Chain A
Amino acid sequence: MTTQAALPAKAEVRASRRVPGARRNTELILLILAWLVGAYAYANVGLGTEGRLPENLALVIGLVGVLFIGAHVCVRIWAPIADPLLLPVAALLNFLGLSMIHRIDVAEKLRALRNEGPLPSGDMPAQLIWTTLALVLFAGVLVTVRDHRRLQRYTYTAMVAGVVLLLLPMLPVIGSTVNGATLWVQLGPLSFQPSELAKILLTIFFAGYLVVKRDSLALVRRKFLGLGIPRARDLGPILVAWLIALGILAVQKDLGTALMFFGLFVSMLYLATQRKTWLIIGSVMFLFAAVLGYLAFGHVRLRVQVWLDTWSYANDQGYQIAQSLFGLANGGIMGTGLGQGYPQFVPFAKTDFIAAALGEELGLVGFMAILLLYGVIIERALRTAIICRDPFGKLLAAGLGTVLALQVFVVIGGVTRLIPLTGLTTPWLSYGGSALVANWIMLALLLRISDRARRTNLEQSPQVVIKP
């Protein structure tokens, strides 16, 4: 199935030889390897749990292979000199996530068989459909957004759309509260988490807004302890961002999203103005909000208490984090092997705690590899920001990298009890359609900026000829 799909790609290889330094072939090799690792993991799940290969093995790895090659061909056509590492790394994370979700599906099925209860349908097929949809949208973004600078025109549209999306779950009828967080929109059988898409729109807004305003925001009235103090009226934007984050915390009871948006705004403010003062002001405001949240909101207080004193709550509110820590300890350095651990003991092992499940079955060694893969994506995003010539693209690329970095830090920090637990999805790994779609769209935007940036730079060295 996949060898057939690889054929059109071969023809493309010859066509794109004209652009030296594009390294599309590096991407293809890495992508095939990513597919192999994922397919191996998927087969391993079947062998480890039930002692035989999963019955839909050929279908699943074939479909994923076709999707990956399709994405690669799209990049070759529409972003021919984009960064070669982003796609394979994200693809591997996506496939590993699929395998792990399947592994927990199997565990749930076996448990149902033991208890003679009804068989659960499993979430892996749904995630596979979401992956397909996400990659179609990925290609769609590459086709429609031919120049990322166009997005700057929609700065304020993006803001309005982003804020509306953030507010949607609070509306009656369509909004729904799951596990205490008002984050979902329910439309008939479909539900999605609009904050995932809002993060892209708000990154576009922050980038567009800061490009215009950064000169005045970088102004310094006087110096204090070696730090420039910004003018009082320039504090407006950061104050608004802070209030919105606090509002999300209070109304939607979602710590993770609030933290991510405020962190993103402060980081981008720093990137745009190069003033460390903003980081300090941001941290002080964050600490103030944290104390305020602790005193005012019961759910925040509970999260902090569980974090500080997990074992007193190990049987009730801290059950999840305690089980996650048991799982990680059970995995140890080399892991239990796929299908050999008990990741299903952790509630929400497919979504918030997929990192714990992977940590248990792949061990510290596998966990570190996954963290490094995230590091690579973030590094590539920041590298794209460095080589990008136009300020909007620079800020957008850096902002998208920052969103990913914050998200990975908050969720993995929470799972490993480094920081209080907050519910955020693990990019590409977690079960969840909206998150997967949003992350692939972010990747398409990064590839677009990277393609533009590298094009400008290659064009200026005379030896390189670039086809129009």
Chain B
Amino acid sequence: MSALALTLLRLGLLALLWFFVLLVASALRRDLIAPPETPLAAGLPGADRARSTSRQRRTRANARVLVVRQGSLAGTKLPLGTSPVTIGRSPDCTLSITDDYASGQHARLRPSEGRWIVEDLGSTNGTWIDRTRITGPTVLEVGAPLRIGQTVLELRK
């Protein structure tokens, strides 16, 4: 092998190695640029979500935050976007609450035509809006107290 060929071979390997690193970096970039409107996606693989949102053009519901007013997580704010939110004791829930009177998967909030609909997911102690236990999908108004176990939540704009 001539010295020139070996030099070209050497530089070629370095170029190929760095090409790989740059491709990996560009794949990483998709995770770093979080789409602005993803709600609970801070730190989640949000790029995927953004793509699917733009495909379906969902309208944003009126309320933008879910606030915990009473209970062990009092003061917690969960920014809302266009995806449903599950509430319960299980760590799989979007909002995982420490409340002995809540079920694993207790209730679900989903946006619909600019409003948030709350549904009970078959919980033991029920989901209550103020003093009434809900029996089916119910519109949750902004500011209305949503009771789950000993936790009280409300929507805010």
Contacts and interface: CB of A to CB of B under 8 A. Distances in A.
Contacts of B21: 369, 372-373
A88 B19 CA distance: 13
B45 A454 contact: yes
Counting chain B residues whose Cβ lies within 8 A of the other chain, the interface size class is: 35 or more
A37 B17 contact: yes
Contact of B17 (A85, A337, A369): A369
Contacts of A334: 10-11, 14
30 contacts: A21-B45, A21-B51, A23-B27, A30-B23, A40-B12, A40-B13, A48-B1, A48-B10, A84-B27, A85-B27, A85-B28, A89-B24, A334-B11, A337-B13, A338-B13, A340-B10, A366-B13, A369-B14, A376-B28, A379-B28, A390-B91, A390-B92, A454-B45, A457-B41, A457-B44, A457-B45, A458-B45, A460-B84, A461-B53, A464-B52
A390 B89 CA distance: 11
Contacts of B19: 33
Given A29-B23, A363-B14, A458-B48, 8 more contacts: A20-B51, A44-B13, A47-B5, A47-B9, A48-B9, A460-B84, A463-B55, A464-B49
Contacts of A463: 52-53, 55-56
A63 interface: no
A460 B63 CA distance: 19
Interface of B: 1, 5-7, 9-14, 16-21, 23-24, 27-28, 31, 40-41, 43-45, 47-49, 51-53, 55-56, 83-86, 91-92, 94, 96, 110
Interface stretch (A180-188, A281-289, A381-389): A381-389
A457 B44 CA distance: 7
B9 A337 contact: yes
**Majority secondary structure of chain A interface residues (helix, strand, loop or mixed):** helix
A71 interface: no
A266 interface: no
B1 to A, nearest CB: 5
Contacts of A389: 91-92, 96
Contact of A456 (B9, B13, B92): B92
Given A44-B13, A390-B91, A463-B53, A30 B27 contact: yes
A429 to B, nearest CB: 13
A44 B9 contact: yes
Contacts of A383: 31, 43
Nearest to A23: B27
B54 to A, nearest CB: 10
B99 to A, nearest CB: 16
B9 A387 contact: no
Interface of A: 20-21, 23, 26, 29-30, 33-34, 36-37, 40-41, 44, 47-48, 51, 84-85, 88-89, 92, 334-340, 362-363, 365-366, 369, 372-373, 376, 379, 383, 386-387, 389-391, 454, 456-458, 460-464
A462 B110 contact: yes
Contacts of B23: 29-30, 33
B45 A366 contact: no
Contacts of B47: 21
B38 to A, nearest CB: 9
A444 to B, nearest CB: 20
A340 B6 contact: yes
Contacts of A85: 24, 27-28
A94 to B, nearest CB: 14
Contacts of B85: 460
Contact of A461 (B5, B16, B20, B52): B52
A340 B8 CA distance: 13
A34 to B, nearest CB: 6
